[in-house]
Structure 1
Amino acid sequence: MSRIALARALSLIGHPGVVMPLALMVLSRQMGAAAQAALGVAVGITALVVLYSLWQVRRGAWAHVDASQRPERLQLNRFVAAVLLGSSALAWLNGALALGVGLAASGGLVLVALALQRWCKLSLHVGFACFAAGLMWPNAVALGFGALLAGGVAWSRLVLQRHVPRDLWVGAAVGSLAALLVHGVLPGLQ
């Protein structure tokens, strides 16, 4: 397998719409019904974002579903942030506080990317890979696998020339901070 093909595969596996549901699948084995509900929400949000992206391409507003051009990325990130934060509010209103916190942290990650866009193109692939890995705590095996995947995703984003190192470091820091925030807030809710 060529270096570019491997990078593309890692980038696809490390897509936020893949790593977050995968992380929730691991958690669902540990946490039961609450994590299974979160998995359903994550899959639903992913499907909604994919449909939105396909619709933008079909109507000619975007060149490609990956939203690589800056105006496309800005529009996609605003849409994703609104969906995540709206879903967080719905979760809170329905008493699913842990889910609400996770969705709020996810939305916050995207909002930070939007806020920093003039300074860097924060890698949401790396940010969400680090966030998903951090959610695995205290399962050391899952956390280690998630960290390896996050490192592979960072490498892939460099090889594919989607980001520069600063974008990856900032994404990793913000994603890790989101996981720490979730772990810090959840015990107070239980």
Structure 2
Amino acid sequence: MARGIPDHKAPAPPGFAWIDEASRLSGRSIETLYKDRAAQRRTGRSNGPWSSSIGRMAAWRKADIDAWLDSQGGPAPDAEMLHNSRPPEPRRTAQVIAASRKPPTWNQIREDVPAPGTPEGAYFHYTPAEAAEWLPFGAHKLRRLAHAREIPYVDNGNRVWFSGMNIRAISEQFTVQPFTKRRS
């Protein structure tokens, strides 16, 4: 669990820094400095700048922080400098864009979708939202009926799809035929 910044009522003695300033000067998080301090007290060695106690408070000598930074090979990393030093993002080519396209999710409706009754639409795979435009059910009910195996659907990788033939079969399945009149 991360610790918060302690509320120091008095300023740090000259040449020393409390945890928040030591974190800023060293470039290490407050939690990391506390872990380094615990390792220092437990083993006598520390991965970070050496700490000491002033009263009951943890303090770091600024000279120790500077010496530790020198031993690390330079100043603490500056987040803005690191961000600005990144190379620009590569331009995405048409092949990369086409390769990164994903199939539509269950609630997306694509453009230029052929009608289920046409030859192109017979084997076209429709999302439940697209099929709902041709059927008297909403997309959610179509998914529910498909998972209950009450209507025909295409199971393509744990997704529910409907072919044009499925849509026609569902439409016929729920078509109500008129009564014939009985002659008495």
For the pair shown, the structure with the greater C-alpha radius of gyration is 2
**TM bracket, shorter-chain basis:** under 0.3
TM-score by length of 2: 0.22
TM-score by length of 1: 0.21
Q: Which has the higher helix share?
A: 1
The higher-RCO structure (CA 8 Å, 6+ apart) is 1
Q: Which has the higher strand share?
A: 2
